[in-house]
Structures are given as structure tokens and as C-alpha cells.
Amino acid sequence: MTLAQVTAVFGWMTVINLAVYAFAAACVILGGDRLAAFQSRLMGVPPSDWPRLYVDYLGRYKIAIMVFNLAPWLALRIVG
């Protein structure tokens, strides 16, 4: 693979992961109570714990996107 191809792969990985992140965040924001009630029935976790778990999940996912997708893409753009 050429440097341009690897850069393109990391760029598209970033775009796709940001879209998945935006979809998950929209689901949490728009369906908060219904989603928490469903997840609590499914997993047995009290509904009052779900907002904290959602924020923790979204925060960790955002950090993973920055570390594993965005930072390599930026580095490849600088090098290329």
C-alpha cells in the first residue's frame, strides 16, 4: 500500500467512526429514558445508573476514535 492509500483508509475510518459515535450520541440524547428502561430490563442495571454509563461509554469511544483513527490520520497527512 502506498502512503496515500493508508492515509485514505485512516481518513475513512475516522469518518465512519465519527458517524457511529454521532448515531450513538443521538440515540442516547433522543431516547434517553426509553433506552435506559429497555437496557435496564435487558441487563438488570437500575435505570438511574444508565446516564452515567452512557456518558462513560461515549467518552471512552471518543478517546478511542482520537487515538486510533484521528491521530494516525493527522500524522500521515503531515508526513505525506
Tens of pLDDT, residue by residue over 2-21, are 999 999 999 999 999 999 99
Domain boundaries, the chain: 3-79
Tens of pLDDT, residue by residue over 42-65, are 999 898 898 899 999 999 999 999
CA within 13 Å, CB half, 78: 6
Cell reading at 24? 450513538
- Yes or no: say if 40 and 34 are a contact pair by the CB < 8 Å rule: no
